[in-house]
Structure 1
Amino acid sequence: MDWTGRRLEVEVGPVAHGGHCVARYEGRVVFVRHALPGEVVFAEVTEDPGRGFCRADAVEVKSAAPGRVRPPCPLAAPELGTARCGGCDWQHADETTQRELKGAVVTEQLQRIAGLNHPVTVQALPGGPLRWRGRVRLAVGRDGRVGFRAHRSHRVVPVQDCPITVEGTLDAVVDRRWTATSEVEVTRDADEQVHVTAHRRDRDRRGGRAPRSKPVPHRIAGADTAHETAAGRAWRVAPHGFWQVHRHAGDVFSAVVNRMAAAPEGGVAWDLYGGVGLFAAGLAEQVGSAGSVLLVESSRRAVKDAQANLADLPQVEFRAQTVESALSTPGARPDVVVLDPPRKGAGREVVEAIGVHRPQRIVHVACDPAALARDVALFAEQGYRLADLEAFDAFPMTHHVECIALLERDE
């Protein structure tokens, strides 16, 4: 039986990875968004795949949890039903509750996937839960207005503002009409310059879409380079390239990575998935002029920016290639490895290649707790234990959380 559209009165259970909580009804699991553990809610089923679970939204709260608050954005309010923006998961929870929920998710993933009992406390970044995001990508609806997609949908919910973006970031894009079904990237850098790029498909000479596999970027505003600051340095980076979306994340993360890495003077360090060189800068200062740092990054533009940003640090070697290919001919054995892989994690091939070279310490930066847990389990097979972990609410109002883990080799 398809439960889509059906309203269920459920008692909400624990939080789960992905921005929802778990409830049960007539023997089936119900993943409920816009609810909190311990609440009793009326949940409307939004998706029923026909298996042992379905997805639902809490549309009415019968018994509220202590951490519930009124969402600061009207597009996140449960009473708006299907008009709801899918970008934020936890606007109905206060700051402390959000961090507790995220800590519970990381703890559960480490226990379930890696078999570790390691309770996690999530720390706040400076600036509070609103107006922290300096980089954002918006979709364009059929009416040419920008907005964000509804949860698990291609439908675009138009916006005039977004309270988690830095104030004024969207002013340049919300009042104009764009090519339907394109996407618009907006970055407000440390100099408060706004960079806008539209991604759309070009038209061929007959007026139809050109046969391209990917949309073509068209710069609308700003320059080819954005200016950022972090770790006591000024950075010139691609406007929409790799940089932390939270304005304070660069300073905090680089300090934690430096402390965990503790690269020895004259030693060797690797910075894998190194981006524009944020972590390599700290590693280079630790090893000094007699040491060496290998930065590996597949984006040629990012490597070019890294070379310019770290021109004063000749001990850094740059490789514009995938981590997998770089590790096949890595060079000197490292004392410490820092890796900041994409959301899916490093994976077995990379973990085993690092393990062959037996660095004493590995610092793993992760934005997905499940991927982190999988990698921690793989590193355990290589003889590494989880020695420390710090988690940060780098994406307030969403279910995302950033973790920095220190892995040490058992002697």
Structure 2
Amino acid sequence: MNPEPLTSSAGAELVVDIGPVAHGGHCVARHEGRVVFVRHGIPGEKARIRLTDAGESAKFWRADVVEVLDPSPDRVPHFWRVADAPASWGHGRPPVGGAELGHISLARQRRLKSEVLAEQLSRLAGVDLSPEVEAVGGATADGDETHDGGAGLAWRTRAGFTITAGGKLGMHAHRSDHVIPVREMPLAVEGVNALRLWDIDLQGIERVEVAAPANGSRPLVLLVPAPGTRAKRLSSILAQLPADISVASYDPLKDETLQLRGRTWVQESAAGHDYRVTGAGFWQIHRDAPETLVGAVTGLLHDGGFLEPGAAVADLYAGAGLFTAPLADAVGETGSVLSVEGAPGTSRDARKNLHGAPQVEIVQGRVERVLRQRPRSFDALVLDPPRAGAGKAVVNQLMAASPRAIAYVSCDPASFARDIGYFQQGGWSLAQLRAFDLYPHTHHLETVALLTPRG
């Protein structure tokens, strides 16, 4: 085959050999020396790709697979047609985002995620480690989830959708304003799909967020109206929704949630506790994530002798108190737990959830500010920062607090590895690490690390 001419035109098609996996849900390919980040491929495949983001002066291009010429043995039929790149581009449109690994067997997905985590740790932290990414959700003998017979589906208790120009439920294509109508969400639990939001006229709404707790409690539909949407339009949408669910509207600019019917929050459960979580508040989206992460965090700290009655601990980026409550159980009334959360609404949730635990002090504010204003000693710290990570300044503050151990929960391998590098520079070591496949069919994974001072 003659080499195809180099082109900088988005929409052009090239034939490439798919190279190694990279962080972000794509693989690395090259075309006449140019790096191309390709989605919907598998390392070792030969494929025809369509450039989706290209420029002559760009350092790299982006592309989707549109035809597989030499498939990997780990390629499987995609479970969701609107997310299948070859099928979607065959109909002249991009695939929806959010299921970019759906064409790969679950076992290979986990191996690829392990490779990404190992590469990030090596490159950004100088740590030579290849942790196995664990399945969650009552795994079968071969490591597949059992909620849906091992297909890795029906795990999302929360889902967000945008709305098409015609008022229909939709989702964005990756890195695009293009909205694609959807009539199912296979990654979501039945409580989300049973609402059948795709049958509703949603004109006047910009975005819809749905929470359907795994414990079966009352779902919540959160509507984000477009500017100028009148109350009459909201009433019309409300009449189309099932009567036994809660409905609220949310103004992201004011961070204000208004009740339309039922409650403005949902009740979640984990580790023997119930949690109130406001509609816009954070909660782990995999149905088994809360129990999995609580077990991993408390297990690492307890086994190391860092979590026992009378201990002083802090839960940073604490959210509604997922870790705070079991930490309070572990230290007992003779211990203490400082719970720090920046979002005012979520911090209010934590106060309601922990009102019966006198050993817990809840502070609303930025972690770096609270640590600076309230210097104290801790036996252990738990931190679960947002995707951007903690950052160098916060890491330095954490080490300055001189805890005996830190449990770090992360949803992003790159920011996690960067922060681990900062800890290493400060004289700390990565003592233990576990990785969990809490987001099957996507490139995301969750890690729980135990960090201790060297010596």
Same fold (TM over 0.5): yes
Is the 2:379–2:403 contact (alpha carbons within 8 Å) kept by the matching residues of 1? yes
1:184 paired with 2:211, answer: no
Query: 1:6-85 to 2 correspondence within 5 Å?
Result: 6-50=12-56, 51-77=58-84, 78-81=86-89, 82-85=93-96
Given the two structures, how large is their TM-score scaled by the length of structure 1?
0.94
**1:337 maps to which residue?**
381
C-alpha separation in 1, matches of 2:216 and 2:392: 40
C-alpha separation in 2, matches of 1:49 and 1:330: 50
The alpha carbon displacement at 1:185 in A equals 0.7
C-alpha separation in 2, matches of 1:161 and 1:326: 43
| 1:245 aligned partner, one-letter code | I
C-alpha separation in 2, matches of 1:6 and 1:305: 50
C-alpha separation in 1, matches of 2:356 and 2:256: 35
Aligned partner (choices 191, 202, 223) of residue 198 of structure 1: 223
C-alpha separation in 2, matches of 1:46 and 1:147: 20
| 1:115 aligned partner, one-letter code | G
SS of the equivalent of 2:198 reads coil
Stretch deviating more after TM superposition (219-228 or 95-104): 219-228
Stretch deviating more after TM superposition (61-70 or 211-220): 211-220
The alpha carbon displacement at 1:306 in A equals 1.7
Aligned partner (choices 413, 417, 421) of residue 369 of structure 1: 413
1:231 paired with 2:271, answer: yes
SS of the equivalent of 2:170 reads strand
| 2:160 aligned partner, one-letter code | R
Aligned partner (choices 268, 271, 279) of residue 315 of structure 2: 271
| 2:292 aligned partner, one-letter code | V
**2:187 maps to which residue?**
164
The alpha carbon displacement at 1:204 in A equals 9.0
Query: 1:255-334 to 2 correspondence within 5 Å?
Result: 255-262=295-302, 263-334=307-378
The alpha carbon displacement at 1:365 in A equals 0.5
The alpha carbon displacement at 1:215 in A equals 8.4
| 1:283 aligned partner, one-letter code | L
C-alpha separation in 1, matches of 2:353 and 2:221: 23
Unaligned runs of 5+ in 1: 206-210
The alpha carbon displacement at 1:61 in A equals 0.7
Is the 1:141–1:181 contact (alpha carbons within 8 Å) kept by the matching residues of 2? no
Q: Deviations over 1:122-165 (max 9, x none)?
A: 11111341000011111112111111101110111111111001
The alpha carbon displacement at 1:351 in A equals 0.7
**1:175 maps to which residue?**
199
The alpha carbon displacement at 1:367 in A equals 0.4
Given the two structures, how large is their TM-score scaled by the length of structure 2?
0.85
The alpha carbon displacement at 1:303 in A equals 2.1
SS of the equivalent of 1:284 reads helix
The alpha carbon displacement at 1:38 in A equals 0.7
C-alpha separation in 2, matches of 1:139 and 1:349: 36
Is the 1:268–1:336 contact (alpha carbons within 8 Å) kept by the matching residues of 2? yes
Query: Kindly tell me: are residues 277 and 215 of structure 1, through their superposed partners in 2, closer, same or farther at Cα, counting changes over 3 Å?
Result: closer
Aligned partner (choices 156, 161, 169) of residue 133 of structure 1: 156
C-alpha separation in 2, matches of 1:318 and 1:40: 54
Is the 2:205–2:224 contact (alpha carbons within 8 Å) kept by the matching residues of 1? no
**1:146 maps to which residue?**
169
Query: Kindly tell me: are residues 389 and 332 of structure 1, through their superposed partners in 2, closer, same or farther at Cα, counting changes over 3 Å?
Result: same
SS of the equivalent of 1:97 reads helix
The alpha carbon displacement at 1:192 in A equals 4.3
C-alpha separation in 2, matches of 1:337 and 1:217: 32
Is the 1:200–1:216 contact (alpha carbons within 8 Å) kept by the matching residues of 2? no
C-alpha separation in 2, matches of 1:74 and 1:378: 43
The alpha carbon displacement at 1:168 in A equals 4.3
The alpha carbon displacement at 1:300 in A equals 2.2
**1:208 maps to which residue?**
none
Is the 1:195–1:221 contact (alpha carbons within 8 Å) kept by the matching residues of 2? no
**1:352 maps to which residue?**
396
Unaligned runs of 5+ in 2: 1-6, 138-146, 231-250
The alpha carbon displacement at 1:172 in A equals 4.4
Query: Kindly tell me: are residues 164 and 290 of structure 1, through their superposed partners in 2, closer, same or farther at Cα, counting changes over 3 Å?
Result: same
C-alpha separation in 1, matches of 2:310 and 2:191: 46
The alpha carbon displacement at 1:40 in A equals 0.8
The alpha carbon displacement at 1:373 in A equals 0.5
- Say how many residue pairs are matched: 406
The alpha carbon displacement at 1:76 in A equals 1.6
| 1:203 aligned partner, one-letter code | G
The alpha carbon displacement at 1:66 in A equals 1.4
**2:292 maps to which residue?**
252
Is the 2:404–2:452 contact (alpha carbons within 8 Å) kept by the matching residues of 1? yes
C-alpha separation in 2, matches of 1:236 and 1:180: 29
**1:121 maps to which residue?**
132
Q: Deviations over 1:296-339 (max 9, x none)?
A: 00122222222222233211110011111101123430111100
Stretch deviating more after TM superposition (242-251 or 51-60): 51-60
Q: Deviations over 1:83-127 (max 9, x none)?
A: 411121100001101111111111111011111101121111113
Is the 1:386–1:406 contact (alpha carbons within 8 Å) kept by the matching residues of 2? yes
C-alpha separation in 2, matches of 1:267 and 1:45: 55
Q: Percent identity?
A: 40
How much is the aligned-residue C-alpha RMSD, in angstroms?
2.0
| 1:69 aligned partner, one-letter code | V
